[in-house]
Structure 1
């Protein structure tokens, strides 16, 4: 993490770093040594890569997501101080691509294609661990096969150009500790060949994106 500042000619008195208002790193140039580290459970500060502008934290776990602050103070006689904060999210990307399952691969007009896309995660409902162990992520899709018509060449059929009835949503009841899942429901017209590929993509910010696909067959009548 980097903290940029302009003291407008004044000398630096100190720079302090906080996570959720708890200080974990301090740099005071007039002291020897100028750096001081405070406990940050779940991570450690790399002093070799930390100085008066940046701090490097290694071995973070997901508990350490949250707001981080940088506080800069000028030296005497004014001791002007300013502080800025920014959010940090720590993620644990899955090792595998999402698992896309479709109970059957052959369908006829009027059938409903039911698909499930999931990423396995260890699940824990213990309140103290909710910020650390995440539930498995999953999404369900229902496609109703309509009458046949020619697909438009070069068009990728996604939720933006399918007739959506409603979109997926998740609601958690903390009393029963159960998730209510609303599936994405769409209608699709099969291509003339009767074959099409169904795919799902799982993403986490800009650090993880994996896709899985299955080939499906629809009996068509022209």
Structure 2
């Protein structure tokens, strides 16, 4: 299973945002990584650098490596509508991301682990593929045997009310992917148009 296993705080410092979860160190040391921090770096980034930076931010945020991200973009480009918005919708419909959004796991990496360890069912069938793309109406739930494991249920926080494209029943640990979210509903600070421009070069 391909995934990023490098330093998380370093990545957050590169972008100045807690994109990999815990941002507690950003307040103490928010300078970019490296011996000289920002001192030896260009103050203004060029057009290509900005586009590449935005793509890297999206990849790290959703835990997707380059090859898979490219495939997701190509699928977004094939679909009707605005390519950038389609890209965000596809990333949001990933199973690991949805498990995280439902509050079944405290972070996307933790959600990915829940899925890959076969604790999650989709429409009554165990699915252990984190990149599995959900469709409107799909029902996501903890496997019955997993509901009795305190190590899993103790981390369940429940869905944030602002994620209106999802429904969640805390008593049964069951969620429903109601529809693809509109771009303004997704809180991630990603400028998807720059990603589109990068791939269209």
- Normalised by the length of structure 2, the TM-score is 0.25
Structure 1 or 2: more helix by fraction: 2
- Normalised by the length of structure 1, the TM-score is 0.23
Structure 1 or 2: more strand by fraction: 1
- The structure, 1 or 2, with the larger RCO (C-alpha pairs under 8 Å, 6+ apart) is 2
In terms of Rg, which structure is larger?
1
